[in-house]
């Protein structure tokens, strides 16, 4: 096995990352729905022959951190013969929430090889996967009511689509041809990944590429160990409370005890609330994603995105809790909302240990919004304010932490559905004051030109994003239904009809400020 120096390792890593990026471009260009084509709500990655992550594109953290578990579950439940593609979205098998469908394909040096050399995979958010609520992102109390649950299922066999399987998968979904088109876009992206891996293999040779896979994972582990060894040993605790689950005002708590011991750490979520009635539960891979994201953010070095990141980490999640719910628990909001609050609780726990590195809290929500009518279903998230840090103000109007999508262009939105965007801009002075000010949120207002069904899954409507080191909190978000001169404040989780001429106005939270205002030079 070649002994990789840092330069050679960077070359191998960059080659693999570029293939994942190319997969993303193919998915974007081939996608049918605005959600994939414009919002870029998808992620692509490459895995070694054991299903361990070796490279990923700069896509969506909550997708990427959870995808390895989906790949490993697929390998356990379905043979991936040459030309096979397996689909999965089951939260118990590495899925996050049902609209996120993962497609996996094996790469072999030779078609007749029994064991795959590597795997390529992508995860894409489909605008609807069935269920009781259009968009599959509403207020439900059972997983089966959120849409079609897909355990590892072989969709393509030997390069040929299994038409019966495909039809069975999409027959309960709304706007079937759009779903079919987006699935085929995922297939196109896999083909790009297979071709890209072949080019790298032809360039490097088998031994060097295999050695590169291992070296990237080892490098990630060493970087994380270095990061942890520079955090003072000890126990650090934090507690975060969600707004609600859409069915009850009972407190929903995420509790973390973080133990740093030299070059290792234990993230213990004992004391977290039990699974809730509504869709704010999240699958175990989501917690892994949030931890991996924070570790990579805190490192002063560029940590390769590989399976080595979590090797020095032990994660304890109580069975039956919000973060490991019973099998039939709804999870639509856990992937998008609870994941954001997981980042908040990890950063809060680390703040006493790293007071000059941890920023104030960002908006802490993705502001999930679903429109649906006879013409189609559209899903989008809305950016907000970033928390300020010790050396900078918080950025305004961005997707933060666990998401990394674009906004839907107004022209595309108005073309797809009978609505008009009447306001889209920054929510001035919504960021918290401080030595460094928090970023401002966004105001997005739409007028419906025909009756529309709307679903909202949002957070930080009751509990504002906190400032740090004396900084003020950002403003909490607001959901408004406007009927002529009448305004009605909607709760953080809501679904229901809008009539022609009514408006929906979303004002997203601002980020917290950092430091006291009178201490500007500190």
The pLDDT tens digits for 460-474 are 999 999 999 999 999
What is the C-alpha to C-alpha distance for residues 441 and 431, in angstroms, rounded to an integer? 7
What is the C-alpha to C-alpha distance for residues 72 and 93, in angstroms, rounded to an integer? 9
The radius of gyration of the chain from alpha carbons, rounded to an integer in Å, stands at: 22
For residue 521, pLDDT over 50 is answered with no
Q: 3-state DSSP call for residue 465? A: coil
Query: What does each C-alpha distance from 231 to 61, 228, 261, 316 come to in angstroms?
Result: 23, 5, 9, 20
Structure tokens at 231: 């955090």
Instruction: Please state whether 401 falls in left (phi above 0), alpha (psi between -120 and 50) or beta.
Output: left
The pLDDT tens digits for 207-265 are 999 999 999 999 999 999 999 999 999 999 999 999 999 999 999 999 999 999 999 99
Task: From 105, 74, 75, 76, select the one nearest 90 (Cα to Cα).
Answer: 74
For residue 133, pLDDT over 60 is answered with yes
pLDDT value of position 402? 92
pLDDT value of position 519? 57
For residue 518, pLDDT over 80 is answered with no
For residue 171, pLDDT over 50 is answered with yes
Per-residue pLDDT, averaged over 200-204, amounts to: 94
What is the C-alpha to C-alpha distance for residues 302 and 283, in angstroms, rounded to an integer? 28
| Whether 219 contacts 299, CB under 8 Å | no
Chain-centroid distance, C-alpha 151: 20
Share of the chain above pLDDT 70, in %: 98
Strand order in the sheet with 493-498: 376-380, 368-373, 452-457, 493-498
What is the C-alpha to C-alpha distance for residues 487 and 462, in angstroms, rounded to an integer? 18
Question: Does residue 197 or residue 58 have the better pLDDT?
Answer: 197
One DSSP character per residue, 106-162 reads EE-SSTT-SS-SEEEEEEEE-S---SSSTTS-S--SSGGGSS----SEEEEETTEE-
Per-residue pLDDT, averaged over 190-206, amounts to: 96
Confidence of residue 199 (pLDDT cuts 50, 70, 90): very high
HSE-CB at 26 with a 13 A cutoff on CA atoms is 24
Chain-centroid distance, C-alpha 106: 24
Confidence of residue 57 (pLDDT cuts 50, 70, 90): confident
At what angle are helices 206-229 and 176-204 packed, to 10 degrees? 100
pLDDT value of position 304? 85
Per-residue pLDDT, averaged over 309-328, amounts to: 96
Indicate the pairing of strand 264-268 with strand 313-316: parallel
Q: What is the mean pLDDT of the chain?
A: 94
| Whether 95 contacts 70, CB under 8 Å | yes
For residue 181, pLDDT over 90 is answered with yes
pLDDT value of position 522? 42
């Amino acid at each position: 096995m070649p002994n990789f120096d840092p330069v050679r390792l960077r070359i191998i890593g960059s080659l693999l990352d570029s293939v994942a990026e190319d997969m993303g471009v193919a998915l974007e260009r081939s996608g049918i729905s605005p959600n994939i084509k414009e919002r870029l709500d998808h992620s692509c990655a490459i895995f070694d022959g054991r299903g361990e992550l070796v490279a990923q594109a700069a896509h969506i953290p909550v997708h990427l951190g959870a995808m390895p578990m989906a790949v490993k579950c697929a390998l356990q439940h379905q043979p991936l013969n040459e030309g096979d593609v397996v689909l999965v979205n089951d939260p118990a098998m590495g899925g996050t929430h049902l609209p996120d469908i993962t497609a996996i394909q094996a790469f072999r040096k030779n078609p007749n090889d029994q064991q795959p050399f590597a795997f390529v995979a992508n995860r894409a958010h489909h605008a609807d996967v069935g269920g009781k609520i259009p968009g599959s992102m509403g207020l439900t109390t059972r997983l089966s009511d959120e849409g079609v649950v897909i355990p590892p299922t072989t969709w393509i066999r030997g390069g040929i689509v299994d038409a019966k399987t495909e039809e069975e998968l999409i027959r309960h979904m709304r706007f079937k041809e759009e779903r079919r088109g987006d699935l085929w876009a995922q297939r196109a992206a896999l083909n790009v990944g297979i071709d890209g891996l072949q080019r790298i293999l032809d360039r490097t040779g088998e031994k060097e590429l295999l050695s590169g896979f291992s070296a990237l994972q080892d490098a990630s582990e060493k970087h994380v160990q270095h990061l942890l060894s520079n955090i003072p040993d000890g126990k650090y605790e934090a507690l975060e409370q969600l707004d609600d689950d859409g069915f009850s005002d009972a407190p929903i708590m995420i509790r973390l005890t973080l133990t740093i011991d030299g070059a290792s750490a234990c993230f213990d979520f004992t004391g977290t609330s039990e699974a809730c009635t509504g869709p704010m539960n999240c699958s175990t891979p989501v917690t892994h994603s949030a931890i991996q994201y924070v570790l990579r953010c805190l490192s002063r070095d560029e940590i390769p995105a590989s399976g080595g990141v979590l090797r020095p980490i032990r994660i304890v999640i109580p069975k039956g809790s919000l973060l490991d719910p019973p099998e039939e628990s709804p999870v639509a909001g856990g992937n998008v909302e609870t994941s954001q609050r997981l980042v908040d609780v990890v950063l809060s726990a680390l703040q006493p240990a790293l007071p000059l590195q941890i920023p104030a809290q960002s908006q802490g929500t993705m502001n999930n919004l679903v429109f649906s009518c006879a013409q189609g279903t559209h899903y989008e998230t809305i950016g907000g304010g970033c928390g300020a840090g010790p050396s900078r103000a918080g950025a305004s109007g961005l997707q933060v932490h666990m998401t990394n999508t674009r906004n839907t262009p107004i022209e595309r939105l108005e073309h797809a559905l009978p609505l008009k965007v009447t306001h889209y801009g920054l929510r001035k002075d919504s960021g918290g004051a401080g030595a460094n000010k928090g970023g401002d949120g966004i105001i997005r207002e739409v007028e419906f030109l025909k009756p529309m069904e709307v679903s909202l899954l949002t957070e930080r409507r009751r509990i504002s994003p906190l400032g740090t080191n004396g900084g003020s909190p950002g403003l909490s978000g607001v959901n408004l239904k406007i009927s002529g001169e009448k305004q009605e404040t909607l709760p953080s989780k809501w679904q229901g009809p809008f009539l022609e001429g009514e408006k929906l106005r979303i004002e997203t939270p601002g980020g917290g400020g950092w430091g006291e205002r009178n201490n500007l030079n500190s």
